[in-house]
Structure 1
Amino acid sequence: MFAPQGPTVRELAVQALSSVERGYDLLAPKFDHTPYRTPDRVLDAVTHTLAALGPFGRGLDLCCGTGAGLDVLRAVCHGRIAGVDFSAGMLEVGRARGGPDADRVRADARALPFRDAFDLVVSFGAFGHFLPAERPGLFAQVRSVLAPGGRFAFPVAAPARPGSLGYWTLLGFDTAMRVRNALWRPRFVMYYRDFRLADVRAELADAGFRVDLYALEELGRRPDGSPRCRLVVATAR
């Protein structure tokens, strides 16, 4: 499915009926051949924007998976870089494919084993795995691992317009996940419709950040002129 090297429908079904951690452990060997990996054009756009704000010292890729976001850190950081993820399978694949310049640490993003250790934290495509009630604690964890004045950056796509194909696709996926979690244990949390920019900005401010938004112009604009994707850059106060 997705690509010849990607997972089959049966493999995806097994992963979807597992926990989030176990599901990603199973998916890890084929993850980079699925649409779930952050596209290179998004990584390149983020790199371009961060390069204008840097350079940075030490960098962390939060929920790094197989490590696609580490390439962003390599481009904009001159200090040691690291990735953290709770899936041992994803980290193992990342170690096999990545270079020795990055530390890869297994840990839960809600209980990070660092303090004041980084100047830049990035994250790509992971926030749907956290319930809205968990986000304030997650953002507080990120704040705790940043040095004074450090930055937390992540891209956020513009919401799909009501009635569009993207809107109905996302709604259908969200509904299917909620039905699955009502009927099956362990839960597999993946609710991307809950990640609303206005709520996230307020939660970041409460966690001690100043929030700025940057249009990722390389990803284009919608017919009304608004950017298709923005980079949230939260600076630790």
Structure 2
Amino acid sequence: MFSPEGPSLRELAVQALSSVERGYDLLAPKFDHTPFRTPDAVLDAVQSALRRTGPFDAGLDLCCGTGAGVGVLAEVCRERVVGVDFSAGMLDMARERVRPAGPSVSFVRADARALPFGPAFDLVVSFGAFGHFLPRELPGLFAQVRAVLRPGGCFAFPLVAPPRPGSLGYWMLLAFDLVMRVRNALWRPPFVMYYRAFRFGDVRRELARAGFRVELHALPEFGRRPDGSPRVRLVMARLPDQPAVPSGRDAVGSP
């Protein structure tokens, strides 16, 4: 699972016993040599799909890590790309490694639950970060995404089909989440990373509540499962082209 350049078991153990922020600061120099980095095949497939729906002017990579998704945005955005993450170590690696020749690229340290931007972006993407958010945090997270998007903007992220119940992958993810729950019950600070907590039914409902219209696009590069369903989809949550107009008493500013 890890290349020779990746972290040792001791380094992973130290990371796992740290906070999320400190853990990623420690892992940052070797993160791209771990299976936690989004595979290039997924990045390339998302880039191809976004090319078909773009172009976009300004893009934001939410929880950008070492900047793999920033490279995708640089290929589909014409003017500006921003990567945001709360790990200073990950951002240092991103600044060092991501040097696209296209639009202006910058990196900002911030928490995804309190983004320091106004409605300045046409596209927000995120790759592999949602396991760090508890289900109860999704409404606030999606509200933040909506707040930084312009009217008609799009929030896009890949979604891998969950493993079938009883399969090896199913039991591996279940075991990982169980270990994390035990760890967080016994150790502080917590390290939030749950692979099975990001359930599409809940996600779709919360996106709709935040004002998004949700579209699903199969990524054909990954084929289909035996039942015909796509192995990987691109979720594209869109905002209306114009802000909602208040009605009734609110329209005239009544309390």
TM-score class, shorter:
over 0.9
Write the distance in 2 (CA, Å) between the matches of 1:39 and 1:116. Answer: 30
Q: 2:10 & 2:24 partners in 1: Cα distance?
A: 15
Task: Give the match for residue 223 of structure 1.
Answer: 226
Does 2:99 match 1:99?
Answer: yes
- Of 124, 135, 138, which residue of structure 1 is paired with 2:138? 135
What SS does structure 1 have at the residue aligned with 2:4? coil
Alpha carbons 2:61, 2:69 under 8 Å: kept:
yes
Amino acid across the alignment from 2:48? H
Partner of 1:200: 203
Aligned to 1:121: 124
Give the structure 2 partner of residue 86 of structure 1. 86
Distance across 1 between alignment mates of 2:28 and 2:105: 18
The alignment partner of 2:138 has SS state of helix
Contact 2:71 2:98 in 1 (8 A): no
Q: How far off its partner does 1:198 sit?
A: 1.1
Partner of 1:65: 65
| Letter of the 1:144 counterpart | A
RMSD: 0.9
Identify the range of structure 1 (170-179 vs 96-105) with the bigger mean alpha-carbon deviation: 96-105
What is the number of residues matched between the two proteins? Answer: 237
Q: Does residue 16 of structure 2 align to residue 13 of structure 1? A: no
Counterpart Cα distance in 2 of 1:28 and 1:81: 21
Q: Give me the whole-angstrom Cα distance separating, in 2, the residues matched to 1:203 and 1:192.
A: 18
Q: RCO higher in 1 or 2 (8 Å CA, sep ≥ 6)?
A: 1
Shift of 1:142: 0.2
* Moved segments of 4+, more than 3 Å: none
Q: Matches of 2:25 and 2:222 in 1, distance apart? A: 31
3-state DSSP class of the match of 1:144? helix
Q: Which amino acid in the other structure matches residue 65 of structure 1?
A: G
Structure exhibiting the larger radius of gyration computed from Cα positions: 2
Structure 2 residue runs of 5 or longer lacking an equivalent are: 241-255
Inter-partner Cα distance in structure 2 for 1:145 and 1:79:
16
Unaligned runs of 5+ in 1: none
Q: Distance in 1 between matches of 2:111 and 2:22?
A: 14
SS of equivalent to 1:192: coil
Secondary structure of 1:18 counterpart: coil
Secondary structure of 1:194 counterpart:
coil
Percent identity over paired residues: 74
